[in-house]
Amino acid sequence: MREREFAFSDADFQRIRRLIYEHAGISLHTGKRDMVYSRVARRLRVTGLDSFAEYLDRLEVQSEEWQHFVNALTTNLTSFFREAHHFPILQEHALETHRRERRGLRIWSAGCSTGEEPYSIAITLMEAFGDRQPPVRILATDLDTQVVRHAEEGIYPAERVARMPEAQVKRYFLRGKGGMKGLVRVKPQVRELVTFKPFNLLGSEWPLKEPFDAIFCRNVLIYFDKPTQYRLLARFHPQLRPDGLLFVGHSESLAHAADLFRLRGKTVCVPVPRS
């Protein structure tokens, strides 16, 4: 086995697990040790430090390094129209809600990563309403400030949209030319539907004013232990309208929060009425 650039003790790993859990609620499995070494070692190189212990000592007193630390340990795997069965359900729900209540809709993509999810939501609703300006506003948030900046730009390698129908790509994306060849950019009318913000779901306050018609929190809960998942779901509950929908990932179960949400369909939940 190739010798590591930096010594990495079990105490270093356990300290990183404790710090990321305390700061962001992320529960790192013991099998993630090599991944943790690889990602945090990059910060040692950037900061010019020689040991994990020295880096972690500085981290605990230097607040500006926290975001880099969190960004390094956050995985951002996503794609356009991932878990595709969710989008027809969203479309039906949006149209029925608007027909019944004649008001604008609010959607939250909580854990938006590099933006493919909220842009997929926007495209779905533009097509549902047959309108470039559908009656919807989308809030997209993520803990990782770097991916939020990337998402706001809306620029992606062309292969990211290769599985989408070509007519849909032409309608909602601009293909790059010259130095931008091989890239696509989400059209302005799609980007205008989405507001991106950095957001820590485990933060002490959620500055959210009105309830949402749907919340997408897909493949986010898997980073937290069961007690933290429950606390998070308890905070989502009042943020949803009584007939709102919570979309979760294919590997996420809400069985331990049956008093808060019940399953309506495949990985789609509705809030249990408040007593």
pLDDT digits (tens, 9 = 90+) for 128-175: 999 888 999 999 999 888 889 999 999 999 999 988 999 999 999 999
247's tokens: 């979309």
Of these residues, 12, 142, 144, 213, which one is catalytic?
142
Residue 39 appears among annotated catalytic residues: yes
CA distances from 104 to 20, 119, 213 (A): 38, 18, 10
Kindly state the percentage of the chain with pLDDT values over 90: 70
- The more confidently predicted of residues 74 and 272 is 272
The pLDDT of 84-99, averaged and rounded, is 96
Question: What's the pLDDT score for residue 78?
Answer: 75
Question: What's the pLDDT score for residue 209?
Answer: 85
pLDDT surpasses 90 at 275:
no
Question: What's the pLDDT score for residue 2?
Answer: 56
Residues sharing a CB contact under 8 Å with residue 124, sequence separation 6 or more, in sequence order: 87, 90, 91
Question: What's the pLDDT score for residue 24?
Answer: 76
In this prediction, residue 92 has a pLDDT band, given cuts at 50, 70 and 90, of very high
Report the distance separating Cα 229 and Cα 191, nearest Å. 30
pLDDT tens per residue, range 210-262 = 999 999 999 888 888 899 999 999 999 999 999 999 999 988 889 999 999 99
Question: What's the pLDDT score for residue 74?
Answer: 76
Question: What's the pLDDT score for residue 29?
Answer: 81
Question: What's the pLDDT score for residue 103?
Answer: 94
- On whether the CB atoms of residues 23 and 204 are closer than 8 A, the answer is no
- The more confidently predicted of residues 223 and 15 is 15
pTM for this one?
0.81
- The more confidently predicted of residues 68 and 234 is 234
In this prediction, residue 1 has a pLDDT band, given cuts at 50, 70 and 90, of very low
User: DSSP letter string over the chain?
Assistant: -PPPSS---HHHHHHHHHHHHHHH-----GGGHHHHHHHHHHHHHHHT-S-HHHHHHHHTT-GGGHHHHHHHH------TT-STTHHHHHHHHHHHHHHHH-S-EEEEEET-TTTHHHHHHHHHHHHHHT-SS-SEEEEEEES-HHHHHHHHHTEEEGGGGTTS-HHHHHHHEEE--GGGTTEEEE-HHHHTTEEEEE--TTSS-----S-EEEEEETT-GGGS-HHHHHHHHHHHGGGEEEEEEEEE-TT---GGGTTTEEEEETTEEEEPPP-
Of these residues, 39, 137, 160, 231, which one is catalytic?
39
198's tokens: 């950095």
